[in-house]
Each structure stands twice: as C-alpha cells, then as structure tokens.
Amino acid sequence: MKFLIVFVALFAVALAAPTDDAAAQIQRSEADVRPDGYTFNYETSNGIAAQETGQLKNIGTEAEANSVQGSFSWVGPDGQSYVVNYIADENGFQPQGSHLPQA
C-alpha cells in the first residue's frame, strides 16, 4: 500500500512539472517576404513571441543597407514576462528593455 501511495505521489509531481520548451507548439506564424523587405511574427505555446520588419534602404546605391526593427518576448523561469525591442541598421544592433542595463 505504501508503494502505491508513493507511486501516485510521484506521478502527480511529474504531471505538475513545468512544460519542457522542446515540446512547445507554434500557435501563430506569419511571414511576408518581398524584394525590398520582409515581415514576420510568431507565437509559441510556452509564451515566446517575436515580430520583425526589415527594409532595404538606399536601393541601388553604394549606401544600400538593411534596416530592421522588431521585438521578442518570453516568460522567464521566475514567471516574469520580458520584452526586448530593437533596431538593427548601419549603426548596429540596438536593443531596449526594462530588464537590460542602460549605458
């Protein structure tokens, strides 16, 4: 009888364990790719989400460059939601988030 109680208790603990990120499912995914730019966004069942838009600037010139802006978010192990907004262009990757240190 003790074995059965211990087994049931361990089974209940295993069921209550947090969801493994490897088992996360894609809830939503959209993308649009064009010659002069793109957009995409997605969300997963474990709380990860991202969206991004990219554009080609100064097309046909020596200064031709990609300009990207977007954001991504996730739920940390502490249960808190984190969001990073960013721009990436000829000036490099420029992230911003309330949890990131400021220069």
Cβ within 8 Å of residue 49, ≥6 positions away: 41, 42, 43, 72, 73, 74
pLDDT, tens digit (0-9, with 9 covering 90-100), for 69-95: 999 999 999 999 999 999 999 899 999
Q: Render pLDDT for 28-54 as a digit per residue (tens, 0 to 9).
A: 999 999 988 999 999 999 999 999 999
DSSP character at residue 61:
S
Specify the range with the lowest mean pLDDT, choosing from 9-18, 21-30, 66-75, 87-96. Answer: 9-18
Say if 86 falls within a structural domain: yes
Tally of structural domains, the chain: 1
9 occurs within a structural domain: no
Residue 3 domain-assigned?
A: no
| Domain interval for residue 56 | 21-96
Establish if 13 belongs to a structural domain: no
pLDDT the model gives residue 52? 97
Model-wide pTM > 0.75 = no
Please work out, in degrees rounded to the nearest 5, the angle formed at the alpha carbon of residue 52 by the alpha carbons of 82 and 46: 40
